[in-house]
Chain A
Amino acid sequence: MSGRASTPSQEAPLQWRTATELARGLEARELSARDITAAIIEQSNAVEPVVRAYLKSTHERALESAVAADERWSRDTTLSSHDGVPLAYKDIFVTRGVATTCGSRILESWIPPYDATVVSRCEGAGLTSLGKLNLDEFAMGSSTENSAFGPSRNPWNTDCVPGGSSGGAAALVAAGGVPWAWGTDTGGSVRQPASLCGIVGVKPTYGRVSRYGLIAFASSLDQAGPMARSVEDAAALLQMAAGHDPMDATSIPREVPDYLEGIDEGISGMRIGIVKEFEGGGTQPGVRSKVEDAYRRLEKLGASLEEISLPSFEHGISAYYLIAPAEASSNLARYDGVRYGYRQADAADIVAMSSRTRAEGFGDEVKRRVMLGTYALSAGYYEAYYGKAQKVRTLIIEDLERAYSSVDLIVSPTSPTTAFKLGERTSNPLEMYLSDIFTVPVNLAGNAAISVPCGLSLDDGLPVGLQLIAPALDEKTMFRAAYAFEKDLGWAGTAESRPPL
């Protein structure tokens, strides 16, 4: 542990405690869900004018649910160990009776008639939702600047983006406005904002968490993931929703291990790979220095680090920005102005109606990706673009399989830079895409990965994240390493990990 004075989190104000600490307080009957929820709502309201995380708040309903949870605690009829702890959802999770926009004008007035599986499982565990959080439209972006309802801000520096696409969730968790939240990660959309806001973010194995009720962007890459202020919380939240769901044919029919069991066993003897091709790669000096410190810390904790080569990774971005838009162009065909959402009603025939509805309802980035994907799938270009990209995907998977014969985990920075200024990258779509260089290969391969805070960059005082990548379904090893690192660094849970708002 570091010798630095730190406030023990157990004595921290309610809004700064982890969900696990809050659950312990409820279990000991020292805290009430009502008090917890009220304190967290107060913090949420205090930071909202600055971070702009919410698209829809459900605070009243959360307070009512908290009272119901307290009754269950008093009668010993609780739904789970975390009954009555608040959470929030990126506004891509469909919620029955609560507006779900996906950050798009085209869904501005839509009230879903059903719940996503993640939502129904968390509600079944007694978690109470504070609301729906901001994102890049249809999760397409790395900054929340593509939200039709305006960007969220980074609580560490409000001139900066919180990252994206799950930027509202990252900003609110980091600012103490909610202990944990669900995001989604198609190319880095949980891990990159977690890194930029100084919190933990997990991209589970593809198929580990049901995609039912998650508004589709790129179906072979999308995966829901927890965002939290500790590794333990992230593991506990994943535990609640992971597992097979008959409503998602791609969900994996395998038992879910206990992620918390043995999480504190340390990493002595663990073999960890550093990717040769990721050296350089436009990584800022301040990020590089923090991440290299992290590598040394992992070695100090007993892991052996070795350099590995993943030559196909340099083509990850190219393959991703063909495959993801191709799938998006197909998935977004459903927004035709007929069954739900916005309709431009002036047109006389159905093709003109759909075409005008989509032109008015979608923002620039969504149009760009639908065009790119339609082009990549169109006659004459399919084999050259989509077909080749799928083959590159095979090479990336083969490279990783080779690597896992000699290492248990792979480490890298999560993002090559810390949070950037609003507007800095909006004029150059390609530059925005290139910031996903370390995260997209993980989605292409369906592996699991986590971003865990390394502290603040010495260059600009903004958070830096370390990415740990694990083979498919080996979240347990990933959590164990991230937990050991987090504890030894001793940053999470201290006053220094709270942004100065």
Chain B
Amino acid sequence: MVIERSVVDHVARLARLDLSEEERARMGAELSQILAHADRIQALDLDGVEPTSHAVPVVNALRQDEVKPSLEQEESLAGAPAVEAERFRVPRIIEEP
């Protein structure tokens, strides 16, 4: 199958990747090739087979609900590209009315 340009654009938007024109063209061809290989499993009759999300399931992995020290605010902010008033600074999220 061939991945259409409109699908590449849609997926890039979902993935938050501002790809260049050249990248979009290349990505369509490469994904088509990889998915063609993956399409082999489309032909398999898998009705009645349960899906596996984790091979070695561990259920009810609970721990005691205890208060423990965590990272200091300063440490948590130390790696941030922009900080203001002891918070992560980001561009405007909500438009002015």
List A residues at the B interface (Cβ < 8 Å): 110-114, 205-207, 220, 246, 249-253, 315, 317-319, 321-322, 329, 333, 336-343, 345, 347-356, 358-359, 362, 367-368, 370-372, 374-375, 378, 384-385, 387-395, 397, 429-430, 433, 444-447, 472
Name the one of A341, A370, A394, A472 contacting B81, with C-beta atoms under 8 angstroms.
A341
- For A319, the closest partner residue in chain B by CB is B41
Name the one of A343, A352, A388 contacting B42, with C-beta atoms under 8 angstroms.
A388
A251-B58, A430-B34 known; A375-B11 Cβ under 8 A: yes
Say yes or no: A371 contacts B11, CB within 8 Å: yes
Closest approach, in angstroms, between the C-beta of A128 and any C-beta of chain B? Answer: 24
B44 interface hit (Cβ, 8 Å): yes
Name the one of B15, B35, B52, B80 contacting A390, with C-beta atoms under 8 angstroms.
B52
Say yes or no: B61 contacts A367, CB within 8 Å: no
A384-B42, A433-B34 known; A205-B81 Cβ under 8 A: no
Chain B residue numbers with a CB within 8 Å of A337 are 81
List B residues at the A interface (Cβ < 8 Å): 3, 7-8, 10-20, 23, 27, 30-31, 33-35, 37-42, 44, 46, 49-56, 58, 61, 63, 71, 75-76, 78-82, 88, 90-93
- For A109, the closest partner residue in chain B by CB is B79
Say yes or no: A318 contacts B41, CB within 8 Å: yes
- For A368, the closest partner residue in chain B by CB is B30
A250-B61, A252-B56, A353-B90 known; A358-B18 Cβ under 8 A: yes
Say yes or no: B80 contacts A339, CB within 8 Å: yes
A249-B61, A368-B31 known; A393-B52 Cβ under 8 A: yes
Closest approach, in angstroms, between the C-beta of B37 and any C-beta of chain A? Answer: 6
Which of B3, B46, B71 counts the most A-chain CB atoms under 10 A from its CB?
Answer: B46
Closest approach, in angstroms, between the C-beta of B65 and any C-beta of chain A? Answer: 12
Chain A residue numbers with a CB within 8 Å of B49 are 391, 394-395
Chain A residue numbers with a CB within 8 Å of B56 are 205-207, 250, 252, 446, 472
Name the one of B14, B38, B90 contacting A385, with C-beta atoms under 8 angstroms.
B38
Bound-complex Cα distance A333 to B71 (A): 22
Name the one of A253, A321, A341, A391 contacting B51, with C-beta atoms under 8 angstroms.
A391
Which of A114, A317, A367 counts the most B-chain CB atoms under 10 A from its CB?
Answer: A367
User: What are 10 of the A-B contact pairs (CB < 8 Å)?
Assistant: A113-B71, A253-B58, A315-B41, A340-B80, A343-B81, A345-B82, A348-B92, A353-B91, A375-B11, A397-B55
Name the one of B3, B41, B80 contacting A388, with C-beta atoms under 8 angstroms.
B41
Chain A residue numbers with a CB within 8 Å of B14 are 374, 378
Bound-complex Cα distance A352 to B18 (A): 8
Say yes or no: A392 contacts B54, CB within 8 Å: no
Say yes or no: B90 contacts A338, CB within 8 Å: yes
Bound-complex Cα distance A258 to B56 (A): 21
Bound-complex Cα distance A395 to B63 (A): 33
Say yes or no: A388 contacts B55, CB within 8 Å: no
Say yes or no: B61 contacts A111, CB within 8 Å: no
Say yes or no: A345 contacts B81, CB within 8 Å: yes
Bound-complex Cα distance A302 to B18 (A): 59
Closest approach, in angstroms, between the C-beta of B76 and any C-beta of chain A? Answer: 7
Say yes or no: B37 contacts A430, CB within 8 Å: yes
A206-B56, A368-B30 known; A355-B46 Cβ under 8 A: no
Say yes or no: B55 contacts A113, CB within 8 Å: no
Say yes or no: A394 contacts B31, CB within 8 Å: no
Chain B residue numbers with a CB within 8 Å of A252 are 56, 58
